[in-house]
Structure 1
Amino acid sequence: MSRLGMSNKSKLAAEFIETGRLSSISIIDVHTHMGPFHGTYMPETSLEAMIHTMDRENIEWIISSAHSALFDPILGNGETEAAMKQYPDKIYGYFAFNPHYDNDLEERLAHFQQTEGYVGFKFLPDRHLYPLDGDKYTRIYEYAHEHKLMLLSHTWGHSPYNPPGMVEKLAKKYPGITFLLGHSAPGESDYAIQIAKTLPNVYLDLCDTGRLNGIIKKMVQEASSEKVIFGTDLPWYDPHYMLGSVLFSGIDDADMANIIHHNAVRLLKQKGNKQKGNKLT
């Protein structure tokens, strides 16, 4: 065993060092995208490339929304749906909602209900320049609360559109929704951690937080590992980048297993996912 492996008490970290992957436990990634993004080069944006990465790195399944859905929800959600249909055991979907395209919403919600693989909704308030507590989101909140769905929204500290304080108010108003704090509000991460600690329906998303030294250990110590979920922003980052941040964060293996696998499975089972709940492991 390498000196690095000997100095780390984690069996999962040691396994990764020796073999280059985790085989003893599969990874679940709850914050991913697919397809190209304007003005940015990413080498693995195709669905086939993403599936190859998942197989190589033992990622059992992901929850995703196409990049295009963040701007053209009709076309983009169709891309997500095609991916779920092609890989029903590997891909779940978020139904992306752009508040500037709120026409025919009831018809689109009916389509959501009938489409196999969707587990919730995806919001991007900072990109859409529309606040998370705006009226155009209300019908989505009501629907998600009624059906006990997940909602992933990007959150940024001190933002006028999606700060953690805004999520706190919404989570109290709609306890049936599981709110996933996308990126865990950089700049106000302490606030985000306290919300996750005190509200049972709020979870911290690791996506793009690995660069913040000590943040994962802090999340676990203050909010518990059961309130932290594994997200990577694939294809923006290789999932092993975020995995390394977890493996060498100084938390124990049981906490790591919660973050990279168990929490996501538990959330989808609790939400009574109709399509794939019996396949969750």
Structure 2
Amino acid sequence: MSIQARISQTMTNRSQLAKEFVETGRLSSISIIDMHTHMGPFYGTYLPEAHLDTMIQTMDREHIEWIISAPHSALFDPIGGNSEIREAITKYPDKIYGYYVVNPHYDHDLERDLAEFDRVKGYVGFKLLPDYHKYPLNGEKFRRIYEFANERGLLLLSHTWGHSSYNPPQMIGELARKYENISFLLGHSAPGETDYAIELARTQPNVYLELCDTGRLNGMIGKMVREATSEKVLFGTDFPWYDPHYMLGSVLFSGIGDEDIRNIIHDNAVRLLHGIPHRKVRT
């Protein structure tokens, strides 16, 4: 398809942001915020942009203002733990925010790290991976995390998958009603039960949909916006597994309006992080 044909196609979308992207190859009028990222190598596969400095180069090229990250080492390395994200926050304090990852099978440092949590200014919440760790979201080992996060009004990003016994959206709903001061982010928006996830985000004030993986499905972003509003949808990509522009295209060409696009790729993230006490967040 020629550039003229792509521009013509964009015009039917009525999005000036989509038109800007087609014409220039990036968005310069508004920065992007990615709420679901990782970093570092991952066993069994090759991720060409997994190194932190390479990720920063991509962020600069694609006008990604900042990301919230949970490194692979924190997810799967009980020795490394959360050391990598603390180093990244220190090196790039205006570009990197961090989720503290809790592996329930290796929680020996939890109380020590929670005691230091508030001194790590880049921490904005927690990341849980129940399906991979084979431990349910409502398990007793997570209770301390929920209480801690609820006291501070933090984010909690959990992997969710439909028809899972470890992290179904129904379980998020129960926790969200119990811990009303936590902002629960449904990582991947529970593929297979996304309709339930959308309804949960619509009816539960502290539950948000996250686009990573699910947002690529044709018509899904429009459905989320129509039924739960764009204020309940967050931009996430799994970067460096996927280039952020891949998911950005799904948002820009979803048929939603520019105000909704701005909410998803920038404004909602800023609003959520500004709601966290004692966290300095760029606008």
Interval containing the TM-score (normalised by the shorter chain): over 0.9
% same residue: 69
Match of 1:207 in 2: 212
* 2:60 is aligned with 1:55: yes
Which whole-Å deviations, capped at 9, do the CAs of 1:91-110 have from their partners, x for residues lacking one?
A: 00000000011224221201
Match of 1:3 in 2: 8
Candidates 41, 45, 56, aligned match of 1:40: 45
Which whole-Å deviations, capped at 9, do the CAs of 1:172-220 have from their partners, x for residues lacking one?
A: 0000110000000000000000110001100000011133111100000
What secondary structure sits across from 2:26 in the alignment? coil
Measured after TM superposition, the shift of residue 270 of structure 1 is 1.1
Listed as ranges, the matches of 1:54-73 within 5 Å are: 54-73=59-78
Measured on the aligned residues, the alpha-carbon RMSD in Å equals: 1.1
Q: Is the 8 A contact 2:156 2:185 kept in 1?
A: yes
Match of 1:276 in 2: 280
* 2:20 is aligned with 1:15: yes
Q: Specify the code of the residue in structure 2 equivalent to 1:139.
A: R
Which whole-Å deviations, capped at 9, do the CAs of 1:200-244 have from their partners, x for residues lacking one?
A: 100000011133111100000000000000000000000000000
Match of 1:173 in 2: 178
* 2:160 is aligned with 1:159: no
Cα 1:117/1:14, change in 2 over 3 Å: same
If the length of structure 2 is used for normalisation, what is the TM-score? 0.96
Distance 1:238 1:175 in 2: 33
Aligned length: 278
Candidates 241, 250, 254, aligned match of 2:255: 250
What secondary structure sits across from 2:238 in the alignment? coil
Match of 1:94 in 2: 99
In structure 2, runs of 5+ residues without a counterpart are none
Q: Is the 8 A contact 1:31 1:62 kept in 2?
A: yes
Q: Is the 8 A contact 1:154 1:181 kept in 2?
A: yes
Measured after TM superposition, the shift of residue 111 of structure 1 is 1.8
* 2:192 is aligned with 1:187: yes
Distance 1:81 1:51 in 2: 16
